[in-house]
């Protein structure tokens, strides 16, 4: 006895747009039109920043996490970052970034009727200014403040601590990127 073969089916017909055009072709035309529209309005992806200086020294707050990440990001961007304790006779930087404040804050913003903490606000504050070794101010005192709200439950303290650490790292990276954009905006020394 032979097994019955299922009836032969023809491959499905390509989906056709109401205008009579296959859907894939219509999608290609739509994407091409969107690309032209975005290109025509001046949109472009943010590229690597270019700086008006080649060497920089970070002073104050050298041991903070934001300053360490900032130095590493600048070095990856092609800027020579001089050590803060390097004598000026060996190498003079073109610009000096002075860290005025680098703070992390944790504030209770919500409590239950019984006084238990339910919501926290995490803040990262970074203040700096940029000047030449001769004292010419390139960027006046600038403060960057990032805030994140996080719920809190006493039954999951370890998980909430890990979440806070992750949020602080995320804010730190955001601040470094904002500082990089501000440094790239300096057009001349």
pLDDT digits over 123-143, tens only? Answer: 999 999 999 988 899 889 999
What stretches in the chain show pLDDT beneath 70? 1-3, 10-21, 38-48, 88-89
Closest of 70, 86, 63, 85 to residue 130, by C-alpha: 70
pLDDT digits (tens, 9 = 90+) for 53-71: 888 888 887 788 888 898 8
Domain-embedded: residue 123: yes
Task: For residue 104, report the phi and psi dihedrals to the nearest 5 degrees.
Answer: -115, 135
Tell me, yes or no, whether 41 and 80 share the same domain: no
d(CA 101, CA 171): 15
pTM metric for this prediction: 0.70
What is the extent of the structural domain holding 29? 17-45
Domain-embedded: residue 155: yes
Domain-embedded: residue 169: yes
Query: The sheet that has 95-111: what strands, in order across it?
Result: 80-82, 55-59, 95-111, 117-131, 137-151
Tell me, yes or no, whether 33 and 85 share the same domain: no
Q: How many domains, in total, are found in the chain?
A: 2
Domain-embedded: residue 76: yes
């Amino acid at each position: 006895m032979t097994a019955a073969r299922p009836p032969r089916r023809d491959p499905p017909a390509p989906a056709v747009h109401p205008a009579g055009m296959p859907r894939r072709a219509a999608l290609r035309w739509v994407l091409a039109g969107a690309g032209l529209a975005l290109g025509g309005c001046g949109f472009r992806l943010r590229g690597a920043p270019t700086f008006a200086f080649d060497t920089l020294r970070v002073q104050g707050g050298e041991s903070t996490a934001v300053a360490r990440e900032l130095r590493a990001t600048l070095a990856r961007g092609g800027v020579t970052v001089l050590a803060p304790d390097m004598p000026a006779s060996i190498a003079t930087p073109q610009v000096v970034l002075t860290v005025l404040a680098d703070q992390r804050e944790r504030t209770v913003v919500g409590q239950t009727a019984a006084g238990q903490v339910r919501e926290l606000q995490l803040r990262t504050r970074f203040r700096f200014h940029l000047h030449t070794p001769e004292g010419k101010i390139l960027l006046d005192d600038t403060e960057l403040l990032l805030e994140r709200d996080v719920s809190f439950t006493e039954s999951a303290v370890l998980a909430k601590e890990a979440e806070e650490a992750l949020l602080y790292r995320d804010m730190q990276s955001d601040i470094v990127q904002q500082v990089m954009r501000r440094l790239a905006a300096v057009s001349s020394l």
